[in-house]
Structure 1
Amino acid sequence: MKLMIKIAVIMLGLVGLITFFLRDTLFEERPTAATSTAAAAGELQQVASLPNEVEESSGLIVLPDGNYLTHNDAGNKPHLYQLDAQGKLQATFKLNLPNVDWEDLAKDDEGNIYIADSGNNNNSRRELAVYKVNLAQPEQVQAIRYTYEDQKEYPPKKKDRNFDSEAIFWSDGSLYLISKDRGQGATAKVYQLPDQPGTHQAKVVGSHQLKAEITGAAISPNGKMVALVSESALHLFSDFSSADKFYEGTYEKRQLKNAGQTEALDFMNDEELVITSEGGNLYRYTL
């Protein structure tokens, strides 16, 4: 019996020594679902399904408090839907506006939101508009009405139908509309528009050969990157001199595998994007 007790004491001592020397490995903190939510660089991470009210997310922005704002496409109610970081509906803003074909959202540095009623599938619309609204006073809406300076026919010939836009972002007092080339699916034109109410001509400032139909646009908080999205792909521009010449910067295309028909995006910060798809999913993407 005494021998067995001695052996037990020795074994306990050995276990104690092993535990002491291996304590950092044995007791290190393991990542959990709560602590390992950030996607790796270049990884598309599905965060949630969008609520039933968002039948077809077409535009998206990240609000200053970290919540998201989105809306539905043509023919739906003129409502803006505020979602939390998990995609749950937090608030609905019902606007007294027509939703002819809402396509994207943008925001400026003063809390104003820009709703691009710019969908123009047949390239025949003459009443295009961007609505400027502040969520603190959603009943006060200003209209920025515009036509494209280079459009002469309504509609033009099918091969020349490049006057649809589903993508907009704001920078330094101007709005930038990116065309969706329905004629040849090759050229994204960039139009500049004042962010002030009135009737304007959208000025062509440049273009880029993308061979894709662009459905959303955003600029990073530091102004150093512009991201465009098309179906299952990102188009990233960096190293440009100013926002109005972003298309002259370094261009990189990244595939968004298994994302479906991606429609809208915005920057959460300078390194992360949030993306929605027509299939009703909310994604995050780390650059």
Structure 2
Amino acid sequence: MSMILVQRFLMAFYIITQVNCQEMGKLNVIADMPSSLKESSGMATYNQKAVWVVEDSGNHDKIYKVDLSGDIKEELEVKNGKNHDWEDLTTDTNGNLYIGDFGNNTNKRKNLVIYKLPNPEKENGDKITAEKIEFNYPNQNKFPPKKSKLYFDAEAFFHWNGFLYVITKNRSRPYDGKTMLYRLPDKKGEYEATFIAEWTTCLEQDSCSITSADISSDGKTIALLSNGLIWLITDFNFENILEGNIQQIDLAVRSQLESICFLDDTTLLLSDERSNHEGGNLYQYTIQ
């Protein structure tokens, strides 16, 4: 048996033994996203009536409030927050909103930053001021590293109890399915992120690379998204999240799903980018 076949067998065995259950899922379309927001890359909620949305690189330095019918209700320009490559949104229990400007397709960036904003629901004008949480990865020494170690892109994070947890997107060639989990404080400053763990999702790059994340308000469920799959993590502790119970759900679609957030503790909202007259939808998924 060739080394490649041996590697694939071992990876498959790992996935079968580590992911406790795989199910087929169904997404319900609840709205078309606004046509002006073609590249929605992150979402967060404050209530069950609307989501706040950002777009990724090449788009405006703005956050948008979109109701669940798909209409833009408000937009705020982010002061002191350049959109280099905004990839995800999350909130904390004090109402602060965080923008993950850590998209890093080529693994060359040395200016990774998370922007911390006050609660946008309470802003009266058309601008909102950001603080910078700058960081680097402790295990990246080359910019870029060699092709087999392109582990330092990220499109996903969530907040819990004073910390931000960043989940990386794998761009290695050949693709090996590894994702890394890091933690850093939620306060303004410059930090070296703390490496927590690595995990092998699966081996198909298009559907196994993490594109968004969120945690339920009760702190009991973490949702990770890719272009077609969700992983739900439960029964974990925050020192070793990836040793929790991991359930993989196949959504039975393979669109460019880029955003996920909890509407409540058992309901997820997802969105995909619009491309070639496809996608651009707001979806709902109910956790069984």
Same fold (TM over 0.5): yes
Counterpart in the other structure of 2:104: 120
1:186 and 2:177 equivalent? yes
One of 142, 154, 157 as aligned partner of 1:168: 157
Q: 2:184 is aligned with what amino acid?
A: L
Letter of the 1:200 partner, please give it. Answer: Y
Does residue 100 in structure 1 map to residue 84 in structure 2? yes
Q: CA deviation at 1:255?
A: 0.9
Post-superposition offset of 1:43: 2.9
Coordinate RMSD, CA, aligned: 1.4
For the residues of structure 2 that align with 1:215 and 1:175, how far apart are their CA atoms?
16
How far 1:221 moved relative to its partner?
1.0
Give distance in 2, aligned partners of 1:64 and 1:43.
23
Deviation at 1:259, TM superposition (A): 5.3
| Superposed displacement of residue 64, structure 1 | 3.2
Amino acid paired to 1:62: T
1:119 CA drift (Å): 0.3
Structure 1 residues 199-227: Cα deviation after superposition (integer angstroms, max 9, x where no partner): 00111111211022100000011111100
2:209 corresponding residue in structure 1 = 213
Query: Quick one: which amino acid aligns to residue 186 of structure 2?
Result: D
**Separation in 2, partners of 1:67, 1:261:** 21
- Determine the structure 2 residue equivalent to 1:12: none
> Structure 2 CA distance, aligned partners of 1:244 and 1:95?
33
Unaligned ranges ≥5, structure 2 = 1-23, 203-207, 274-278
Q: CA deviation at 1:129?
A: 0.1
Is 1:144 the equivalent of 2:140?
no
Q: Mark the CA change 1:93 to 1:244 in structure 2 (over 3 Å): closer, same or farther.
A: farther
Number of equivalent positions: 246
Residues 1:254 and 2:249 are matched in the alignment: yes
Native 8 Å contact 1:180 1:188 kept in 2 = yes
**Counterpart selection for 1:276 from 261, 271, 274:** 271
What is aligned with 1:61?
Answer: 44
Q: Could you tell me whether the CA contact under 8 Å between 1:185 and 1:213 is conserved in 2?
A: no
Q: Distance in 1 between matches of 2:128 and 2:64?
A: 16
Which residue of 1 is the match for residue 228 of structure 2?
232
What SS class does the counterpart of residue 175 from structure 1 fall into?
A: strand
Q: Aligned residues: percent identity?
A: 35
* Regions of 4+ moved over 4 Å: none
User: Which structure has the larger Rg over C-alpha atoms?
Assistant: 1
Distance apart, 1:80 and its partner CA:
0.6
- The structural deviation recorded for 1:140 is 2.6
CA contact (8 A) 2:184 2:191 kept: yes
* Residues 226 and 246 in structure 1, CA contact (< 8 A), matched pair in contact too: no
Deviation readout 1:173-195 (Å, 9 max, x if unpaired): 00000010110241111000100
Deviation at 1:245, TM superposition (A): 2.4
Q: Partner letter of residue 146 of structure 1?
A: F
Give the whole-Å Cα distance in 1 for the aligned partners of 2:214 and 2:60: 24
Aligned partners of 2:109 and 2:143 also within 8 Å? yes
> 2:60 aligns to what?
77
CA distance in 1, matches of 2:239, 2:44: 20
Instruction: Tell me the TM-score normalized by structure 2.
Output: 0.82
Q: 2:35 maps to what in 1?
A: 52
